[in-house]
Structure 1
Amino acid sequence: MALTPFQHLDIGTLAEWFSTEEAFTLVDIRDPGSFSNGRIPGSRHLDNDSVPALLESAPREQPLVVVCYHGHSSQQAAAWLSGQGFSEVYSLDGGFTEWQHRHPGRVER
């Protein structure tokens, strides 16, 4: 049985990381319009055009969290990013939709 190349991260743990000032990279793979309308603070938009910049600049040794709408598409992206040398990659369970529901005051616009 093969191991999953990424881990799942729940909303509560991500919120704790913000409160403890844990160093991590946060990428959002939703479409540009959705990202513009609201995102988790500190996240950067990731699409095919911005992947090279991420691969060049993001620290490989700190956690990388991938966010999508509901936590499904982010799993595929997390698996791929794990193969690019990031040591600790997470897919956010529930995605941005759950984050916004549980933390409406913590959405950047």
Structure 2
Amino acid sequence: MAFKHLDIKTLSTWLEEGRSVSLVDIRDPLSFANGHIAGSCHLDNTSVAEFVDNTSAEQPVVVVCYHGNSSQQAAAWLDGQGFEHVYSLDGGFTAWQAVHPDNG
């Protein structure tokens, strides 16, 4: 099974409903520090092994990058690690911030 694309509206609904989802942001540390989707964690080469080891394979994972391009590669990789529900956020953080300027 491969990763799926997720649009901003669907993610917004999931978060409003309080769905259990792991939000992982793969942008550079400074960009993440300057703003990210509430509840997301920064994922990079130094933290990915711990994330994989400590996150249930059944837990939905949404990968966020700048514009929704790099997140597709990361989502495909996470899918290959055995995660069952992996999503790449279409438009990335840039699109999220355009829709949700005060949650980012």
CA deviations 1:41-93 (Å, max 9, x no partner) are 00000000001110111121021000000000000000000000100000000
- State the SS of the aligned residue for 1:79: helix
- State the SS of the aligned residue for 2:53: helix
The yes-or-no answer on 1:39 pairing with 2:36 is: yes
The yes-or-no answer on 1:81 pairing with 2:49 is: no
Gap regions ≥5 residues in structure 1: none
Q: How many pairs align?
A: 104
Q: TM-score, normalised by structure 1?
A: 0.93
Over 6 Å off, 4+ runs: none
Distance 2:23 2:57 in 1: 13
Q: TM-score, normalised by structure 2?
A: 0.97
The yes-or-no answer on 1:94 pairing with 2:95 is: no
Task: Provide the identity percentage.
Answer: 62
Distance 1:15 1:6 in 2: 19
2:64 equivalent in structure 1: 67
2:11 equivalent in structure 1: 14
Question: Which of residues 50, 53, 58 in structure 2 aligns to 1:53?
Answer: 50
